[in-house]
Every structure is written in structure tokens, then in C-alpha cells.
Amino acid sequence: MSFNKYDTVEDLNDSKHDWLLRVRAQAIWKGITKETKDFRGYNVIFIDDCNGRIHAFIAAALCAKYEGYLIEGQLYKLNDFSVKYYNGDETSRSVRTPKHIYFTNETKFIKDEEDGMKIEQQSFDLFSLEDVQNNKNDNRYLIDVVGVLDGTPTKIAYKKDDVEKSNVKFTLHDGRFYANVTFFNEFGDSFLKAMKENLEHPVIIIIASAKINEWNDEVSLTNYPATRFYINSSHYSVKEIRNRIAENSFHVTHLDDQDDKGIPTFHVKDLFNLTEDYIEKMVECKVTVKKFDKKVKWYSNFCAKCDINIELVDRKYQCGQCRKIYPYPDKRYQLTSLCSDNTGTVPIIWTDEEVIRLCGKTVYDIIADDEEAEDGDKFPTALQEFEKKEYNITIIVTKENVKEGSKVYTATKIAAPNEMCGNHSPSQKENSEVKATKISNLNMSSPPTGNSTTEKIRVRKRPDALECTLQEKTVTDVGKLKSLKTESPTNYIYKANIIYDNLKGHYTIYQRKKKKQVAMSSNNYVHLRNVEKGRTDWKIKIRIIREWRGVSVTGEKFKGYNLLLLDAKNVRMVGYVPEWLSEKMQKLFSVGKMYTVTNFQVKQYNANDKWRCVNIDRQILFTNNTKAKQIDESEYFIPNNHFDFFEMEELTKLAKQNVYLADVVGVVIRRDNIRPVRNTKLGTDQMQVRIKMTDGKNKINVIFWDKFAEEFQQDIDSNQYEEPLILIIASGKVGVWKDETDICNFSPTAYYINYKHHSVQQLRKLVSQANFSQHINYSNSQPKKPLRLCTVAEIKNFNQDYILQEVVCQVKIKFVENNETWFYPRCTTCYKQIQFVEGNHICIRCKRRVPHPDKKFAICVLASDKTGDIEIILMDRPVRYAFGKNVFDVLQEYKGKFPTMLKSLENQDYTIKLQILEVNIHKQSEMYLATDMFQGFTFHQNTLDEETIVKPTEFSAGEPSGSSYHLDNISET
């Protein structure tokens, strides 16, 4: 036997293309452009053996070979595809996972004829019908719902633009909430046809990928190209609803009223210490209204439909939510009282209904009686009568009061007042002695009156004139559009005193003096920015920081070569050594050394000079008269290197041009080992290393090719670098491949790992910050180690290099823990463990209630080999593989009790694949996670044959595969 060779949907990421899935096509539909009716391609929803769902797209150019081959419900094997992450601005997505599959020319897609693990016919991400109303303004996603059919579906025929149309309307309910449904045209007809079959009652319907629509203030579910309906499906949610109906627990009624006799009474100070048990509960307190807040308006204008306050904007009262304009808006009381008892003071808001009940007047009545109060600034006399009186006030305790520290409460009921002659103040005693005023020696802490002042320091009205000698150019930026950086003040278009810089892409004010002539003498050195063509007697001091040879289209290296020069002003310029001078200059110059260089030509770049490594419009051409002398490091200072970094978010713009290369720096979050890749155009293999980097905000793919990749891999293998790696790529070639920005090596490209540079130091500080580290999984920057067999003792002594790595152990299962929590509920959106809170399954990550969560195995066992014992959690996939049943099957068979079939694992030999987690290393947790297993001690590492991959014109994505299992509280079970 062997391990499961198929990946799961949850495992997928954009690190590679050679994934292998075994999936079922649940839904297939064509993508049609709404405006032009152009065919864009096929969309497919795939589900795997773990009920994971993912959307896949097949572009129109690739659809011909799949025509007639795509069948809903069919099982397929799918490998060699691209995984991409959504941008976040897509609409009407049928699956809420952040990634999707793209078919490529290399994708292999065949029908599965083998017997494998069971894949369900359908998988859904079901929402409560309550969420239909709550998500009406969210057009990012379609929605899956389940409910009982209420009434009889009816068909309505009508004409629109002289075209016959129809719709079918019906209602679903889930025991608590209702949702209206409208199916249009052929889709509605197919639904009515299905309803004519002999169906079990009540009819339970699942609607997948429905679109939420609002028309004439009515919210309903409608069909979309991705929409499918399932009547009396075999899905576990349908079984759950049918069981609840049989047990008379389907219809749930929530009583909002709380028995007055059961309302507890608290002092003010006790209100601030209430626990979560009191959230949304009513409590009572006996307080005195000391005063109302008269600094705010005593009434508000509000939108009756949306129940929100509205303000006067541009002389109109308009609701910010429904956008309706109210010429005469409704008004309601908004009174905030300051109330106290002998333990403290609390602000309490009086609701409109209670104020009207107590005073017998509406806001309009008050305004009619007191015209001065109409603008809201004057507090009405009639309302002041409530002050200085004692009330029994019932308030509702909110989540904000308990968890977020809000000290403002809202009254739901205010009892008739008791007259009183005084008022309560916190901790105030009825009889207090008047103490004599204590006089302190003020001279000890303040100066005499004659030495002090209360006058303010005033700024002079007319500042003195200051002498200023302008430099040759005084530069002030007045607007900047970041595009390309420049190292030379050239390419200016002069227009009055404002100059537009073609390279920088922004306007600059220049106050110009007469340009000084560059004087040349035997002792005069100039900086690189000042050298110009037309003369050869230049003298410069430079450091050589890089050397490379150009390469022809066929890959043949030029015999002439290039040097990258750097001066003390951090200006860089390329120096070219022609072929016939190569031997002489190689003896003269060494990379990293400083030189004085004299007598050379300056050549202007032209439009045909592509892929420049510095943004300057000229280069140096060395001649036979060029002379150079090395400078001792103690005599002069030039930095060892300099980079012209671009923000990662700017690289997409840079990919649209072919003039400049780019310098970038980032933290390596994923890295592949070197591997051969087939270049189908040349018919040869090329070596490739794939990397993914981030700057904490954005990510880019990095691809190194051929000898450059080999040198990088050798460097990594032969040196121990601090993790995470911080990588500088100098003069990289930026491009876009399949909508992703990539950077790869070109002739001048160089890399620097953990280089001594301020940018690297800054990134090293940032990686520890939470807002940066959320982009990084440091362990994933390590390549995946080969799967190897280890003893229990070896596993328990692993160091941090093994975090998120997988290893194999061969053990005997000694004991299966008989625990009531042998499975856990899982969110159908994010596939993570969820919590059971106040009778509901809540996913904290998705911030939603999951009405029908999936259920997954988590079996705790004790196993051992000759070196010791080990505690293991057998996760869902290996348990299902061993028994051929899922949690729902087992729950039904064993009536919810612990399944004794699991005890059959005891005293059996198993080969188990473990994933080493961070808690196993840093927190020394002895509970290990099993992701796969088979019976017996035969272990053969499962490897796939290498498939040929097209080289994507030097641009692709790269990162190693990593598991995304999430434990949460499983270790506690």
C-alpha cells in the first residue's frame, strides 16, 4: 500500500503548477460577456474527497479540446495547472475561497475510471436565510441556501421588449426565517418540471450559487448562470432538517419579552461589571435623573424606512442609506440623561416611545407649545420637569457594554417617578464638615508676581530679511507622480520657471543661475552626473561594483563586456569595454576596487538601447587611451554598492516598458529547489529556481534561469544564511505572465542575500511586527525536505528546520482514546474549525453563523515503536481512507455515540505521515498531526513522473507546496 497521491483543494497555492487533484465537476457553465455576448470560456466548480470546493476557469482558446468532455457529476484527474488568488474586486463569485484554478496549455484533464476515496455528489457553503437580507448589498459572492418549500410555486408569463418571458416564484423557510425566490425563463421551467415528480414531503430545496436581488424594496433569490437547484438532495443538511421536522424542533420561536418578575436589579456600579451572560438581557436600576445633556439637540430627524438619523445636506434632508430625500422628515426624541444612585453615575438614553408615554406629547407637540425650541438648541421647559426625580429604569445590556467598555445604556422602560427633594451623588455624605482652607507657601513653587507674566509670546509681524545665496539650482517639488527614478538632471522640458522631468514624471520649480562651465585641470575630478559627450579628457573617481557580458538572442555571449561604475555621490553609470580592449581592461580593473579613471569617451543612449540597468541617458566608452590607477580604501570613500529600489506595487507599471531593468528588495517567503524545465520552443531543458518575495504589503514572483539559477542554488546549499532570507535583486527584468508580475534574471542581473545594506536592516526589523509578519510564513521559506522514515525518538528531537515538514513513522497503535469529541465542526467557507456559541456554530474568521457545518474526524491515539511512545491525532482523511465512511455516516450508524469501530485500529501496525507543527518544536507539544496513513510497514515514497512544462518567456511563479491544516482547539479534544 502507499499514501494518498492526490492533493486537496485546501493545499493549493500559487507556488507551483504540478499539482494533482482528483475531483468531481459539480457545476459547469459558460462565461458570456454581458455587453458583447462574447464567449469567454468555461467555468467549473470542482469538489475533492474532503468536500473542498474551488472554481476553475478554462479560457475560450483552450475550450475546443474539452468540448463534450465536460460533464456535470463526472470524476476527473486534474494536474499541471495554475493557481491564482482573487484580486478582491471580482463580483458574483460562486465559491468564497480566495484562490481559483486556471487551465493552461500543459494542463492534463482526464476522466477518473479508478476506485478511490469517495467524493460526494454535492458540496455546499450553506448560509442561513437570515443572511439573504443581510448580504443584499454584497455583490462579490453568490450564495448557497437550504430550506423547506412553503406553498406552491407559481409561473407568471409576461412580455419584455416584445419578447415572451416568464418567472416562477416561491418561498423557502428554515424554521426561523423566510426567503423569496424567483427563477426566470428556462431555469424556472426546469424547476417546475422537476417539481412534477413524485417527491417526498415536505420538499426541501438547496439552491447553490443564487444571486441576491432587490426589486421594489423586496429582496429575493434569483438564478444566475452558475445557479443550480437540488430537490430533496442526499446532502447531510437535508437529512438534518428532515430529522428536526420529525423531532418537532424545526420551527424555532424566539421570545424577546423578558418576564418582569425575572428582571434582576443592580446598583450603578454593578452595571459596569456585568458578564457576557447578561448580553441582550434586561436589568433594572433605581436612579435619580440629575440632568439632561442640553448641549445636543433634544430631537433628531430620521428615516422611518432605514431607522437612522438624517442630517441637512445642501438644504435637503436625504437618507444616507436609501438615498431618499425627505422634504418634511419625521422627528423623534433623543434625550441623554445623567443618572446616579449612591454608588455611581451612568448616562442613560431615553427612547422616543418612553418619552411620549411619560409626557403624553410628541416632538411636534413640544414644538407647537414652545416655538423657541424648534431649532433644537433650546431645551424645552416641559422636558426639564423629568429632572431631579427618581425612576425605576429598565435597560438592555449590549455587547458593547460588556465587551467593549461602553458606559452608555439605553432605557427600554421607565417607571413613573417618585417626587423627591434632593439628589443623589456618588459617595456623598448627608452631613459633612466644612474644613478650613489650607494655605500653602506659594513661594516654594511659583515665582513672585513681579517675576512672572501672563503675556503670550507673539510672533513678529514682519520677519527680518535673511541673506540667501542660491545654489546653481534650488529645487522644490510641487507635485509627484512616481514612475521612474533618475540619476541625472536631464531630459527637461523648460516652460517658464516650471520644468517637467520626463524621467521622474513630475513638475519641479527651478531658480536658475548662469550655468557654470565645468573646469578641467590636471587636479580636477568630476562626478559621473557631469560627464558629457564631446570631450575625452575627463577625470573621475569610481568604484567598480559589477561586471557582465551581453548575450545574443541565441544565447551567445558578446566578447566585449560592461562595468557598472559608482561614484561618491551615489551616481551609477555603465562603462563599456569593447572586444579588442577586453584583455587589457581585465588586467586593469577588478570588481569591488576604487580607481581614478581618465581619458574616455561618453556615448549617448539611443532608442534602440533596451534593458538599461541604470536610469541615466549616457554611458562611458573606454578607449585605448584610457588610464586607471587604483585608490587605497583609506584615501577616499565611495560606498560599496548602491541600488535604485522600486516599490513592488510599481513593478506592474514597469512591466509595460522595455527600456529599464529594476532593483527590488524583499523577504523570501517561498523558495523552490532548482529543477529542469522543458523549453518547448528550443526543445531543450533549462534549469530554473522559483522564489516568492514580499515587502510586507505586496508579493512578487522571482525566476532565476540557467547558470544564474545554478549559482544561486549552489550559494544556498553551501552557506548557512539567517532566516528568513532577505534578497536584493539588482537589475532584474520585469514582466507579466498570466496576470502576475514577475522578475527574472537578465545579463546585468545580480543577487545579494542578507546583504549589509540599510534596506535589509530595515526589513529585518519589520519582519517581527504583526502587520508585516501576516504576509510571511517563515517555515515555508525552507524547501520541502524529501519524505523520509524516522523513529519516534528522532521525531521528538527535531529542531525548527522541520516546522511544517512531513515525515513518516512506522508504529503500532496501542490505544484509541474513547472521547466524546471524536470529530469537530468545520466552516464550509474557510475550511477551519468553528466554535459552538449560544446554540449556534460560529466561524470567527468568516464572522458568520454556519447553519450546517461540515464534520471531520479527529481521533486521538497512542502509538509506539522500539524507541518510544507518541501521541497522534488522526485527521479526517486518513480515517475516512481506513474505514470508507465519513462522520455523518458514523453518526447515523452509532446514534451519535462513540464509534466502537475505531477500536479496531488498536494493536495494528501502521505507516503514518506526520506534519511537524510549530507547537511541536517551540512549545514541545507531544501531540502530533497525522495527515495520511496505511496499514502495514511497506513504505515507498510516492513520486510523480516529471512532466514537461513550457518556459513562460522567462516569467513564472515559484514557491514550495505547504499544508494549510488548521488545528485551533483540536489538540484539546
- If you count DSSP H runs as helices and E runs as strands, how many of each does the chain have, helices first? 17, 52
Whether pLDDT at 502 is above 90: no
Whether pLDDT at 453 is above 60: no
**What is the reported pLDDT for 962?**
30
**What is the reported pLDDT for 221?**
96
**What is the reported pLDDT for 283?**
92
**What is the reported pLDDT for 308?**
86
Residue of higher predicted confidence among 906 and 552: 906
Whether pLDDT at 915 is above 70: yes
pLDDT bucket at 869, cuts 50 / 70 / 90: very high
Which residues, in sequence order, are bridge partners of residue 678? 685
Whether pLDDT at 518 is above 60: no
923 burial via Cβ count (<10 Å: 0-12, 13-18, 19+)? exposed
Cell of residue 226, nine digits: 452558475
CB neighbours of residue 765 within 10 Å? 10
Q: What's the chain's Rg over C-alpha atoms?
A: 37
> DSSP character for 601?
E
Contact 918, 825 (CB under 8 A): no
Question: In the chain, what's the furthest Cα-to-Cα distance?
Answer: 110
CA–CA distances in Å: residue 834 to residues 212, 238, 410, 858, 967? 26, 21, 32, 14, 10
pLDDT bucket at 900, cuts 50 / 70 / 90: very high
**What is the reported pLDDT for 318?**
83
Mean pLDDT calculated for residue range 870-883? 94
Contact 814, 869 (CB under 8 A): yes
pLDDT bucket at 441, cuts 50 / 70 / 90: very low
pLDDT bucket at 500, cuts 50 / 70 / 90: very low
Output the pTM of the full model.
0.56
Q: How far apart are CA 878 and CA 301, in angstroms?
A: 62
Spell out the SS3 assignment of 214-278.
EECCEEEEECCCCCEEEECCCCHHHHHHHHHHHCCCCCCCCCCCCCHHHCCECCHHHHCCCCHHH
Of 100-104, 203-207, 598-602, 937-941, minimum mean pLDDT range: 937-941
Omega prior to 853 cis, within 30 of 0: no
**What is the reported pLDDT for 491?**
38
Which residues, in sequence order, are bridge partners of residue 561? 577
**What is the reported pLDDT for 839?**
84
Q: Say which CATH architecture domain 792-935 belongs to.
A: Beta Barrel (2.40)
pLDDT bucket at 737, cuts 50 / 70 / 90: confident
- The CATH classification number of 9-111 equals 2.40.50.140
Q: How far apart are CA 179 and CA 128, in angstroms?
A: 10
**What is the reported pLDDT for 792?**
95
Of 85-94, 422-431, 785-794, 797-806, minimum mean pLDDT range: 422-431
Contact 302, 332 (CB under 8 A): yes
Name the percent of the chain lying above pLDDT 90: 47
Domains 648-781 and 792-935 share a fold: yes
Contact 847, 127 (CB under 8 A): no
Query: pLDDT tens for residues 585-642?
Result: 988 999 999 999 999 999 999 888 889 999 889 999 998 889 999 999 888 888 899 9
| Type of residue at 286 | K
Query: pLDDT tens for residues 175-223?
Result: 888 999 999 999 999 999 999 988 899 999 999 999 999 988 789 999 9
CA–CA distances in Å: residue 299 to residues 233, 364, 496, 698? 54, 10, 59, 48
Whether pLDDT at 909 is above 60: yes
**What is the reported pLDDT for 290?**
93
- Cα torsion 706, 707, 710, 711: sign: negative
Q: How far apart are CA 673 and CA 712, in angstroms?
A: 10
Spelled out in words, what is the top-level CATH class assigned to the domain 126-246? mainly beta
Query: pLDDT tens for residues 916-934?
Result: 998 898 877 889 999 999 9
Whether pLDDT at 352 is above 90: no
Q: Say which CATH architecture domain 528-631 belongs to.
A: Beta Barrel (2.40)
Q: How far apart are CA 242 and CA 206, in angstroms?
A: 13
Fold topology of 648-781: OB fold (Dihydrolipoamide Acetyltransferase, E2P) (2.40.50)
Residue 801 CB partners (closer than 8 Å, separation 6+): 782
Mean pLDDT calculated for residue range 936-942? 73
**What is the reported pLDDT for 247?**
86
Q: Quote the Cα angle for 830-122-234, to 5°.
A: 120
Residue 87 CB partners (closer than 8 Å, separation 6+): none
Q: How far apart are CA 701 and CA 954, in angstroms?
A: 11
**What is the reported pLDDT for 328?**
67
Whether pLDDT at 938 is above 60: yes
Mean pLDDT estimate for the chain: 81
**What is the reported pLDDT for 945?**
37
**What is the reported pLDDT for 794?**
94
Whether pLDDT at 696 is above 50: yes
Mean pLDDT calculated for residue range 497-505? 40
Report residue 32: phi and psi, to 5°.
-120, 130
Which residues, in sequence order, are bridge partners of residue 346? 339
Query: pLDDT tens for residues 310-324?
Result: 888 777 788 888 777
Contact 922, 743 (CB under 8 A): no
Whether pLDDT at 964 is above 70: no
Whether pLDDT at 394 is above 60: yes
Query: pLDDT tens for residues 18-76?
Result: 899 999 999 999 999 888 889 999 999 999 999 999 999 999 999 998 988 999 999 99
Cell of residue 714, nine digits: 549552489
Query: pLDDT tens for residues 228-278?
Result: 999 999 999 999 999 999 888 887 644 444 555 578 999 999 999 898 888
CA–CA distances in Å: residue 917 to residues 11, 120, 743, 858, 921? 16, 30, 32, 16, 7
**What is the reported pLDDT for 973?**
33
Residue ranges of domains in the chain: 9-111, 126-246, 474-511, 528-631, 648-781, 792-935
**What is the reported pLDDT for 392?**
92
**What is the reported pLDDT for 438?**
38
pLDDT bucket at 770, cuts 50 / 70 / 90: low
pLDDT bucket at 457, cuts 50 / 70 / 90: very low
Cell of residue 821, nine digits: 469529541
Residue 401 CB partners (closer than 8 Å, separation 6+): 271, 274, 407, 408, 409
Of 613-622, 670-679, 748-757, 876-885, minimum mean pLDDT range: 670-679
**What is the reported pLDDT for 461?**
42
Residue 462 CB partners (closer than 8 Å, separation 6+): none
Whether pLDDT at 445 is above 70: no
Report residue 247: phi and psi, to 5°.
-90, 5
